[in-house]
Each structure stands twice: as structure tokens, then as C-alpha cells.
């Protein structure tokens, strides 16, 4: 009984999903405003620039998924290890980028290029997590992957609601980079904690309760 309880805890792993949802929804819904108000970009005239991070996100998700499948198929690493590495890249790297972005927010120098690079990294590298927690449900149980996805996705959706609302209360002046820095400082540890929990409790093995 205790064994099956532990397996269930390993399988239903909303923390990385919640963390990814929080960070990515924060970036996804508010980066255009940040670029317009803080970096003084004309978003209407910079459609390509606004879309570029998400194009990179798409490319990263495809590239990392191919590499992950390759190392798993060749048995270079276990499924669990591959998922954890991909997930760590997808959450830890954006966390570091957001922390650095917050630290330089009050700089008196022109940090436009550096800020853009950090935002591109924070958004694009998220794609690596799609080869981590996102497909882990199928590793654990092909029979119940849909149910597991439903549970974790429901919990993660809460973060996608809370994060933009919190930003609305914290960023009362969209031209103030320090208020935006607070948002980055909140998202970064959520990324870190969520992935760390996945590293400790996550599994890539088919669970005993898998079946019809």
C-alpha cells in the first residue's frame, strides 16, 4: 500500500507543471507590455521582434525532443534522467535569466540589448520542459496518461490565472522597471522549486498501477 502511494505521488507531479505555467504565463501575457513601456519598443511596428522568442521556443522544443528521444532510444541514459535533464534546462535556465533581468532593471546604462537577450532566453528555453514533465505522464502510465494530464493541467491552470492577476497588483506603474523586477523575482524561485521537486520525486518508470 505504501509502495503504491509513493508511486502515485511520483506520477501526479503538478509542481513542475505549475511552475512552468506560472513563469510562462507571466512572460507570455506581459512581455509585450514590458517591451513597450520599459524598453520603449513600438510593439505595433515590431511584430517580428515580439514573435521571435516564441519561434525560438518552438525550435527549442523540437530540437530538445529529438535529442531526448535519441539518448533514450540509444539507452545512453534512463528515461527518468532524460526527462529531468530536459526539465532542468527548461526551468532552471529561465529562472537564472529572470533573476539577472531583475538585478539589472535599475541600471542607469542602456541595457536594451541585454534585456532582449535575457527575455529571449527566458521564453525560448522553456521549450525544453516539453520533453520533461510534459510527456512524463506517458512514461508513467500509457493507460492513464490522459487522466494524469487532466489532473496536472487543471492544477497548472491555476498558476496561469494567479500570475497575471498578481502582476496587475504589483506593477501599478508599467514604466517602473523595479516593479517588473519584483515579478521576475517571484517567477524565478517558483521555477526553481517546481523543478527541484520534480528532480527529487519524479520517475521515468512505468508504474505498478498502470493497466486497464
| pLDDT at res. 5 | 44
| pLDDT above 80: residue 24 | yes
Nearest CA among 16, 186, 195 for reference residue 101: 186
What's this model's pTM, rounded to 2 decimal places? 0.86
Distances (CA, A) of 87 to 13, 16, 92, 102, 194: 13, 8, 8, 23, 10
| pLDDT above 60: residue 8 | no
| pLDDT at res. 188 | 93
Please state, rounded to an integer, the average pLDDT across all residues of the chain: 83
| pLDDT at res. 63 | 96
Q: Which residue has the higher pLDDT, 85 or 29?
A: 85
Question: Running DSSP on this structure, what letter comes out for residue 167?
Answer: H
| pLDDT at res. 62 | 96
Note the pLDDT tens digit of each residue in 138-194. 888 777 778 878 887 887 788 888 888 888 899 999 888 889 989 999 999 999 999
Alpha helices in the chain (DSSP H): 2-11, 14-37, 47-73, 79-103, 112-124, 133-140, 145-170, 177-201
What does the alpha-carbon distance between residue 125 and residue 119 come to, in Å, rounded to a whole number? 10
Residue ranges covered by each domain of the chain: 1-201
Task: Specify the fold of 1-201.
Answer: Growth Hormone; Chain: A; (1.20.1250)
How far is Cα of residue 99 from the mean position of the Cα atoms in its chain?
14
Note the pLDDT tens digit of each residue in 52-89. 888 999 999 999 999 999 999 999 999 999 999 999 99
Amino acid at each position: 500500500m505504501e509502495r503504491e502511494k509513493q508511486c502515485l505521488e511520483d506520477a501526479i507531479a503538478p509542481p513542475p507543471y505549475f511552475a512552468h505555467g506560472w513563469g510562462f504565463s507571466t512572460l507570455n501575457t506581459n512581455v509585450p507590455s514590458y517591451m513597450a513601456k520599459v524598453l520603449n519598443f513600438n510593439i505595433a511596428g515590431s511584430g517580428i521582434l515580439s514573435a521571435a522568442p516564441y519561434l525560438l521556443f518552438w525550435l527549442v522544443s523540437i530540437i530538445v525532443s529529438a535529442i531526448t528521444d535519441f539518448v533514450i532510444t540509444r539507452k545512453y541514459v534512463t528515461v527518468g534522467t532524460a526527462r529531468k535533464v530536459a526539465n532542468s534546462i527548461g526551468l532552471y535556465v529561465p529562472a537564472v535569466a529572470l533573476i539577472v533581468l531583475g538585478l539589472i532593471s535599475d541600471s542607469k546604462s542602456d541595457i536594451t540589448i541585454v534585456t532582449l537577450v535575457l527575455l529571449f532566453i527566458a521564453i525560448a528555453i522553456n521549450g525544453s520542459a516539453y520533453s520533461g514533465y510534459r510527456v512524463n505522464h506517458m512514461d508513467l502510465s500509457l493507460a492513464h496518461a490522459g487522466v494524469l494530464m487532466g489532473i496536472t493541467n487543471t492544477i497548472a491552470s491555476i498558476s496561469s490565472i494567479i500570475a497575471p492577476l498578481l502582476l496587475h497588483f504589483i506593477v501599478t506603474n508599467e514604466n517602473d522597471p523595479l516593479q517588473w523586477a519584483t515579478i521576475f523575482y517571484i517567477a524565478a524561485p517558483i521555477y526553481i522549486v517546481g523543478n527541484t521537486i520534480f528532480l527529487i520525486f519524479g520517475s521515468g518508470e512505468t508504474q505498478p498501477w498502470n493497466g486497464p
